[in-house]
Structure 1
Amino acid sequence: QQVVEASAVIAVLGDVESYKKAEKIYGQAVEAGFMPVDTATSFIERTVGMYSNLPPEVARQIVYTDGGLISMQLMLVARSKGYDTVPMGGYDKAKFVEAFGISEQFVPVMLIAIGKATKPGHPTTRLPIEDVAYFNELPSE
């Protein structure tokens, strides 16, 4: 329902071939004076060498982690600007990929509905912090 009613929906996709952009990224850092050429060359070689040889499931896990971090930042920025967001992971990713013609290079991470809420969200409860966060030990249960 949020997809239909939201002012906008942002699809967060992870690029499992992002290492192919290493030359452009580090080249821009050199042009901006942030990095010497030899350092950029070394970074490019290591990035391409490592990421191009990852097993597919490892590459996917990396983009899920990065995509989650990016999504949270986007949601926090939206909130700071007075917008409401709803993250959605419970959608048919295969149908989404098919409907939008998304190549295998991109992995759907989540959808984020964004806009102004027409009514307050429903109240929820959470576990107390001491039930989910631990210092120097895990529970024995």
Structure 2
Amino acid sequence: MIDASAVIAVLGDQEAYRNVETIYAHAQAAGYVTPEVGDTIAKNTYNAYSSFSPERLKSIGLVDGGLISMQLMLAAKARGYDTVPMGGYNVEAFLELFEIPQRYVPVMLIALGKAAAEGRPSIRLPLEDVTYWNGFQA
């Protein structure tokens, strides 16, 4: 990580729902929704998310952050860059060092740059060992 060109901190915003009116205002301006539909969706979204428990908001932030992280990594690879996702860092020290507000939950760090050396091959479990259809086999 110390040799990376950049390290991207991916954070989940547990208060992201507060942006819903702005998002749907842009959607209305782009013609994607009518004002009535946009206002209704924004209101319903805000009301639902603002009633969620902190644990559920954290979970949503982690899922959204994971999706964003993968897209960022795929986009970087498509442009010739290499990435490494990192989860094994001292989260508390990171939050303190960068003075991250409590509304944000750390998802991962992503090192970005050009690989100094070819990565080593790795193996994953076969698909049939991790995929179940219509139920789990214990």
Judge same fold: TM > 0.5, yes or no.
yes
TM-score (norm 1): 0.94
**For the residues of structure 1 that align with 2:32 and 2:132, how far apart are their CA atoms?**
39
Question: 2:74 aligned with 1:64, yes or no?
Answer: no
Q: 2:111: which partner in 1? A: 113
Q: Deviations over 1:20-67 (max 9, x none)?
A: 111110011111111111111101111110111110000000010010
Aligned equivalent of 1:131, options 120, 129, 132: 129
Deviation at 1:94, TM superposition (A): 1.1
Q: Which amino acid aligns with 1:119?
A: A
Q: 1:24: which partner in 2? A: 22
Aligned equivalent of 1:13, options 7, 11, 26: 11
Aligned equivalent of 2:51, options 42, 53, 57: 53
Aligned partner of residue 5 in structure 1, secondary structure: coil
**For the residues of structure 2 that align with 1:120 and 1:59, how far apart are their CA atoms?**
39
Q: Which amino acid aligns with 2:47?
A: G
**For the residues of structure 1 that align with 2:3 and 2:26, how far apart are their CA atoms?**
40
TM-score (norm 2): 0.96
Aligned equivalent of 2:88, options 74, 80, 90: 90
Q: RMSD value over aligned CA atoms?
A: 1.0
Which deviates more, 67-76 or 124-133?
124-133
Q: Deviations over 1:103-133 (max 9, x none)?
A: 0111111000010001111232221111111
**For the residues of structure 2 that align with 1:79 and 1:33, how far apart are their CA atoms?**
33
Q: Which amino acid aligns with 1:118?
A: A
**For the residues of structure 2 that align with 1:35 and 1:124, how far apart are their CA atoms?**
46
**For the residues of structure 2 that align with 1:95 and 1:32, how far apart are their CA atoms?**
42
Q: 1:77: which partner in 2? A: 75
Which deviates more, 124-133 or 87-96?
124-133
Q: 2:42: which partner in 1? A: 44
